[in-house]
Amino acid sequence: MSGIVRGTVGFNDLKLPGAWTRKIGKDLYEVFIGPQHPGSGHMRIIIRVDGDIIVEAEPDMGYVHRTMEKLSEVRTWIKSIPLFERMAIHDACNVTLPYVRAVEKLLGIEAPERAKYLRVLLCEINRIAAFLYGFGIFGVFLGHSTMYMWPFGDREVWVELAEWLTGARLTHTYPVFGGVRRDVPAGFTDALRKAIRYMRRRLEDYRKIFVDNPVIRSRLEGVGYIPRNLAIELGITGPNLRASGVKYDVRMNHPYEVYDQLDFEIPVFQEGDAYARVLQRVEEIKQSLRILEQVADWLDKHERSPILHDRFWKTAPPLYKKVFQEQGRAKLMAVYAILKVPKGKAYERGETARGEISYYVESDGKNTPYRVRIHSASARNALVYKYILPGHRVMDLPAIYGSIDYFPPEADR
């Protein structure tokens, strides 16, 4: 090194292993946003700016890659559920549900109806919590500290509900093959209804301080416009896709669990800009609240019944069944630990808060998966930065980054 410091004259002449240089356009200024930058997550966006205008942008992902797909090949089937949850811990049920369903498909079983409702219940609780998390990050990106604190505080309501239901605040491991782990505790639906009422009131507050705030509106309107055809071409998904005018939601187009029996709408916005994505998420929270209301009604009407498929439920000792009838808790049976899944391939998809997630699961008949391929929503959405950032100003970067609601651990897997 001989005392030459990075960034000074002479550094680029050093031919160090790994030190490489490349030419960038004349008069362009290359700025590395991330991975240790307060405005980026665990990712890097390399932008080249001409004055204040971004000319090129390269999303550089993979800083939190945890080899999940490979790790799953050495773990038993049930142990992969807590592993995959780590992709998006605040959206744990949504993220792992397609995997559970794919394995159920291979096993040739289906969860009982009550378990399906319970899965939907936790899915929607997770979805709301994940949206609120995204709102918080988005708020602080725009310098709006109140919008950072409020959703994070209100997210607590849903996290607590999830904890009451499953025993864990974030990584619930709630859906298991053939059902779910626990039944609703007594008094849960009343608390749920209270939370729904509270959330509706708070959404009105958010509208007043954030969504209708003139400063926020002027920052977001017309910024980060994703045209409809570009959205389809890049294969972006979730609220970002729907805010660009494409009515596609896995819950509606390929219904799973009991979504086809519930009454809800898929909101669609045509504008495709960052502001439309904010409104889209607000509307989606409202729809999730609607779903939760219906689930609460269903749960009130129906008596407690087994929440695991008969194949597993019949192996439960009488004590387990007694505890379940009294407290709603079902301990996992020993058969899960030695579960062998028949040979075959299965593909399942689900709608997470950030979009469509799909699992391809292949089994060779052993007690570990042969291959699990995950295609997560954030990985698909991250591409969009490359195409929509150029032409915007540097100050638009946090607005666009936040509006996409990109979550690096989910993308990197």
Partner 1 sequence: MTGWVEAIIKIIEWPPLWQLVVLGLIAPLAVVIYILWFERKTAARVQRRIGPYHVSPRIAGGLQLLADLIRYSFQEVIIPKTVDKAAFISAPLIALILSILPVVAIPFTDVPKWFPLPMDYSLILALALVTLSPLFIIVAGWASNNKFAIIGGMREAYLIVSYEIIAILSFLAATAMTGTYNLVDIVHAQTGWKWFIVLNPLAFFTAFVGVLLSTSGFPFEIAESEHEVVAGAFTEYSGLMYGINMGAAYLKRMIYSLLLTVVFLGGWYPLKPGEGFIWGYLAPSIVIFIKATILMMIFSFFRAVYGRYRLDQAIEIAWKILFPLTVIAFGLGLLEAYYGII
Binding site for partner 1 (CB under 8 A): 5, 7-8, 29, 31, 37-39, 52, 139-150, 153, 209, 213, 215-216, 218-219, 393-398
Residue whose CB is less far from partner 1, 249 or 396: 396
> Least distance in Å: CB of 57 to partner 1?
14
What is the spatial distance between Cα 220 and Cα 185, in angstroms, rounded to a whole number? 42
How many CA within 13 A on the CB side of residue 38? 4
Residue whose CB is less far from partner 1, 149 or 337: 149
What number of helices (H) and strands (E) belong to the chain? Answer: 17, 8
Residue whose CB is less far from partner 1, 147 or 195: 147
Which residue type, as a one-letter code, is found at position 111?
A
**Whether the Cβ atoms of residue 259 and residue 127 lie closer than 8 Å to each other:** no
Burial degree of 212 (CB within 10 A; 0-12, 13-18, 19+): exposed
Residue whose pair of structure tokens reads 């550089």 in the numeric block: 60
> Least distance in Å: CB of 153 to partner 1?
6
Joined together, the tokens standing for residue 342 give 């028949």
Count of residues in the chain: 413
Rounded to 5 degrees, what are φ and ψ at 13? -80, -20
**Whether the Cβ atoms of residue 381 and residue 404 lie closer than 8 Å to each other:** yes
Residue whose CB is less far from partner 1, 37 or 343: 37
Query: What's the sign of the alpha-carbon dihedral 321, 323, 327, 332?
Result: negative
Which residue type, as a one-letter code, is found at position 353?
A
> Least distance in Å: CB of 364 to partner 1?
48
Residue whose CB is less far from partner 1, 136 or 245: 136
Residue whose CB is less far from partner 1, 47 or 291: 47
Residue whose CB is less far from partner 1, 37 or 321: 37
Joined together, the tokens standing for residue 358 give 């799909």
> Least distance in Å: CB of 6 to partner 1?
8
> Least distance in Å: CB of 3 to partner 1?
9
Sequential DSSP letters for 360-372: EEEE-SSSS-SEE
Residue whose CB is less far from partner 1, 194 or 373: 194
Strands 344-352 and 53-60, how do they pair?
A: unpaired
What is the spatial distance between Cα 237 and Cα 356, in angstroms, rounded to a whole number? 6
> Least distance in Å: CB of 382 to partner 1?
18
Contacts of 373 (CB under 8 A, 6+ apart): 69, 359, 360, 361
Specify the 3-state DSSP secondary structure of 92.
helix
> Least distance in Å: CB of 389 to partner 1?
13
Residue whose CB is less far from partner 1, 122 or 399: 399
> Least distance in Å: CB of 285 to partner 1?
19
> Least distance in Å: CB of 142 to partner 1?
4
Angle at which helices 145-166 and 113-141 cross, to 10°: 160
